[in-house]
Amino acid sequence: MDKQINFFIVSDSVGDTANQLAEAVAAQFPRLKTRYRRYPFTQKEAQVYEALDAAKADNGIVVCTFATDDLGDKAVAYAKANDIRLFDVFSPIMKAISTEFSEKPSGIAGSVHDLDENYFDRIGAIEFAVTYDDGKDPKGFLDADIVLLGVSRTSKTPLSLFLANKNLKVANLPLVPKSKIPDEIYKVDPKRIIGLTTDPQVLMEFRRQRMIAYGLSPDTVYSAREQVMEELDFANQLYAKLGCMVINTAHRSIEETATLIMEHMGMDVVDR
């Protein structure tokens, strides 16, 4: 029988924080299968106990985030009384801050998702990333907080959207040998330009898998070593000319690459 971790994500809001924590933990056990059952908007005692009973019946691990009332304390007490494995993410931290600063928490579930100015800034940044994806309009390079350059399949678009969720306006440009680089690129502060590169073998395999996904032969000019080397050389020469930061994305996650970019630009990775 395959070993499986059964996570029960219980929250008085959408549960994204608890789910991300569970996924981060699960990533440390790649040989184990993982199943996630989510109980969002659990804001009544009866709902909490129902979710915990389900977790016990399935030999599950509960990861919960409660901001409203004392649901966290009640969940912990119920879990202890019924031998349920539960990890309350919010309550201990909120209590520590409340004690230290003599401040009561708002008790509002999902406060991080409030439709405040920060929220609308993020939506605007996402719209910007979509509008100026793949160099659709060179004028976007001048208005962007960050400009990403890279050959095909170096994670420009997903990285643009990830950074947009940090309220950063990002434009990106695919690099193709012998193609004209927009004049606007040379007008951008090099500190705001990030050159993305990767290992040739990784890029070749990435492109082969892309062709297979399209139902095409993986052995094409697009994935050939000669073509890959030519594109990477072209990109590296441009990066040297611009004097911009270069990041190899071959063995980095989107999150890792984004953190390097934000640190390079002197941005507060946590607050943003």
* Binding residue numbers: 150-157
Phi, psi angle pair for 142, to nearest 5°: -75, -25
Q: Please state the residue numbers annotated as binding site for ADP.
A: 150-157
- SS3 readout for the chain: CCCEEEEEEEECCCCHHHHHHHHHHHCCCCCCEEEEEEECCCCCHHHHHHHHHHHHHCCCEEEEECCCCCHHHHHHHHHHHCCCEEEECCHHHHHHHHHHHCCCCCCCCCHHHCCCHHHHHHHHHHHHHHHCHHHCCCCHHHHCCEEEEECCCCCHHHHHHHHHCCCCCEEEEECCCCCCCCHHHHHCCHHHEEEEECCHHHHHHHHHHHHHHCCCCCCCHHHCHHHHHHHHHHHHHHHHHHCCEEEECCCCCHHHHHHHHHHHCCCCCCCC
Q: How many angstroms separate the CA atoms of 149 and 126, rounded?
A: 18
